[in-house]
Amino acid sequence: MITKKLIFPILIILFSLFSSQAGIIQFYESPEGMTFLYMKDRKSKPLKVLTLQCGETKLIGVPSNVEVDYEMLTGKKNHCRNFYEERKYLLSGVDTLYVRTYKDGIAWKKKGSSRIEFLDPEHTWLQNWTDCYENFFPKDQELKDGHRIGYPALVEYKDSVFGLLTESGLTSEEAGTSMYALGDNRFDLKPDGPENGGWQTFIVGSLSDIVESTLVTDVAAPNKLDDTSWIEPGVAAWVYWAYNHGSDDYNIIKKYVDLAYELKLPYVLIDAEWDRMKDGKTVEDAVEYAILRDVKPMIWYNSSIGWVDGAPTPKYRLNTPENLEKEFAWCEQIGVKGVKIDFFSGDTNRNWKFMEELLEAGARHHLLVNFHGSPLPRGWQRTYPNFITTESVYGAEWYNNRPDLTTRAASHNATLPFTRNVIGSMDYTPCAFTDSQHPHITTHAHELALTALFESGIQHLADRPESFLEQPQEVKDYLSALPAAWDETLLLGGYPGEYVVMARKKDDRWWISAINGTDAPVALEDIDYSRLGLENSNLNIRIFEDAAPGGDFKWKISDTTSLPSAFNLQPRGGIVMTVSSK
């Protein structure tokens, strides 16, 4: 008779404080690896959420405790604070595993791939991987073995506990990691190439904990720039959505510069094909016109390492150190304030090395950098504050490309605040009141709400100049005052794909946005504003709602002094409020 030796895991409580809800993160070690648990409070039963399947581990040295405290120029919050305990383990062989436990999640790092298991999730929102991260987040999709999933991955457990898995702290010597399905909620997390990946980062808690977390930038390397005084987030007029091209036409660019001037927007983006400008004009003429109207111009480049054949120009201007330095010096000389660089080729080390070169050259020449057709930011907005935003999202420009967004936009928009936009600025290019190549069926108030619901260090407005300028004066005033970086972000309610209520603060004013992700009316009741620190009286409040359906008017705009405890959202509708004390 053979007697099996039973191994009982030892429970190690790493933190007793977790976010404003005072949650607790725990983990235990076993021969299979490490299992992480979450407790809402000391009285609740621990909930197993994730296992890192790394085999037996041996603690090396003494755990270290580190406080994280820094300022952000972009993002959901300007002052970020966290703390972590880091433990170092020896794995079988010579590999070392680093595990950090933060107040709102965990992060780990090791050589090569990791294998994880989500433990008994009730729902998942997983994005099929593409090199540009432009896809939907379908709920509970079935995965075949080997199915490749891109970060971030959102999971829901029982008792309204959620987890968001992503990656941060990547260096230019590494490659981005993605997920490969193994069945039964197990995944291999593998870098895209022979290099190692970054810190695998898992936020855990309530939906508000997920949305409000700054863990992705907390994990990332600190700011590398000595001078950031020239970096200014802001809203931009943007030509591409309405015309699908347009930047080869000086007169069209002038219309967008004039729009920015009229609405007091700080920026205008001169998009692709500016090197082929018609009628004897050049991009320098367009840049000069913008500067004369006190609008800061940004211009577009093809990275020329992703989509090249058949892609728009200008190409191959940035692909050697000499050319990159020459081009960015020219941009600075003529008054360009930022560059949008498009069409990268995925998570490979080649892309990350090149992106770092672009960010560092941009900083030398005081240029904001916006990456499009690119991998996820992975915390680099902390490391390089001139990394003002990135696409990595299925955004409004897809109305130009495919019909899918027409019927899926509302639900997709109500999913992004819980997934993609959690981890960094997202250049979705919101707010279209008219149609592009394919129609939209979200309401005017839904579209306006996206401008404050979605966070982006440069918020590009999608629609035509004449569409914005024919809106009521109150809407134009709203856009003129719209911030692109926030002091505070609070989730007041919502569920992925169904609805969202978000509050963001800049200086002494709150922007409160709500959208309906469904095709049916939604009544939101008992909205809790207590965390905003406002007395529910003697306030200046402007409310933008959808007018009653069937009439000639699109808007219902009102002023009041008390926050509404409830409001109704039309199908695919929205509401946005600006709130300040008298």
Alpha-carbon distance of 554 to 444, in angstroms, equals: 7
Strand partners for 64: 86
Report how far apart the first and last C-alpha atoms of the chain are (Å, whole number): 81
Catalytic member of 117, 342, 427, 546: 342
Whether the Cβ atoms of residue 445 and residue 430 lie closer than 8 Å to each other:
no
Strand partners for 189: 114, 179
Whether the Cβ atoms of residue 295 and residue 257 lie closer than 8 Å to each other:
yes
Give the SS3 label for residue 139: strand
Tokens coding 410: 């509302």
Closest CA to 577 of 443, 428, 452: 452
Alpha-carbon distance of 249 to 237, in angstroms, equals: 15
Catalytic member of 397, 427, 463, 546: 397
User: What are the DSSP calls for 432-498, one per residue?
Assistant: -SS--SS---S-HHHHHHHHHHS--SEEEE-S-HHHHHTS-HHHHHHHHH--SS-SEEEEEEEETTT
Alpha-carbon distance of 562 to 541, in angstroms, equals: 7
Closest CA to 81 of 212, 199, 177: 212
User: What are the DSSP calls for 49-76, one per residue?
Assistant: EEEE-----EEEEEEEEEEEEEE-SSSS
Residues 6+ apart with CB under 8 A from 80: 68, 69, 70, 71, 72, 214, 217, 218
Whether the Cβ atoms of residue 446 and residue 412 lie closer than 8 Å to each other:
no
Q: Please, what's the largest Cα pairwise distance for the chain?
A: 93
CA angle 293, 299, 300 (to 5 degrees): 155
Amino acid at 503: A
Active site residue 342: yes
Q: Which of the residues are catalytic? A: 342, 397
